[in-house]
Each structure stands twice: as C-alpha cells, then as structure tokens.
Amino acid sequence: MVWSEIALICVAAVLVIVALAWIITAVRRRNKEKEREVDGVKIIDGVRYTRSSDVVDERGNVKISLNKGDHLLERGREYTVGKNGDLLAGKYTILSADENTDSINIRIGGLVREYKHFSSVVLNEGDQVSAVSSSIVLR
C-alpha cells in the first residue's frame, strides 16, 4: 500500500467516528428535551395554558403559564379595581411575564413602585393599576 492510501483510510475513519459522535449527542439532546416537556399544553391565541406550572418549551426554558383566575396586565394599559372593574379587590402575587426581569415597576393609585418577581400586593376598591416597565401576571 502507498502512504497516501493509508492516510486516506485514516481520514475516512476519523470522519466516520466524528459523524457518529455528532449523531449520538444530537439524539441524546433531543431525548433530554422531550423528557422536560409537559403534556397537556394548549395554545390559544398565542398563549400557553396548562394545569401544571412547570411549562417547558422546546429548548427547555421555563415559561409562565396562566392558570384559572390569573390576570395578565399589559404594559401601559390601566386597569380598575372594583366590583364592576377589571380586577377584584384583594391580595395578589406579582409574576413577571418577562423571564429575564426580576423587578417590575407598577403604578397603583397614581404612585409608581418597584416590585420583585413573586412578591405580594393588596389592591383596594377603586385603585387604578398599570404595569409600567413590562407586562405582569397577577395570581
């Protein structure tokens, strides 16, 4: 055998090994992501609804899902608290709709205050509420 033939066989063997390793890691990654997905997710008008609070997308990122009784407050829109208003008076847990934001600015009764993700707030009858920095979920 000529040295060029031996080198060609070695290069081909290395390429086969690299291709097999790449395929195996891709299959393992796909299986790992499928294990983390939640069954029973419904998408209605671009919003994900599920009974579980551990919603995971295709890439494994956790997303907030709306449960029954949650209120999504859009940024810049004003909501009224009251019996005939948009929200009922009471205690709510504040959740950031943006997963990269830990603190949210909310205007309640004309005053803007910074709240942390997963903190509580009490809304009184007649209050005007609006999300200033980003959209929020009141649970």
Mean pLDDT of 78-87: 87
Average pLDDT, the chain: 80
Higher local confidence (pLDDT), 127 or 43: 127
**What's 29's DSSP letter?**
H
User: Phi then psi for 112, rounded to 5 degrees?
Assistant: -95, 130
Whether 27 is covered by a domain: the verdict is no
Whether 111 is covered by a domain: the verdict is yes
Predicted local confidence at residue 9, as pLDDT? 93
Whether 19 is covered by a domain: the verdict is no
pLDDT at 105 over 90: yes
Return the CATH number at 105: 2.60.120
Whether 58 is covered by a domain: the verdict is no
Whether 75 is covered by a domain: the verdict is yes
Place 21 in a pLDDT band, splitting at 50, 70 and 90: very high
Whether 49 is covered by a domain: the verdict is no
Structural domain total, the chain: 1
Residue 37 half-sphere exposure, CB side, CA atoms within 13 Å? 14
What is the residue range of 116's domain? Answer: 70-138
pLDDT at 115 over 90: yes
d(CA 58, CA 87): 33
**What's 37's DSSP letter?**
P
Q: What are the structure tokens assigned to 134, written together?
A: 């980003």
Whether 38 is covered by a domain: the verdict is no
pTM for this predicted structure: 0.54
24-78 per-position pLDDT tens digit = 999 988 877 665 555 565 655 545 455 555 545 556 554 566 776 788 898 999 9
Predicted local confidence at residue 42, as pLDDT? 62
Whether 84 is covered by a domain: the verdict is yes
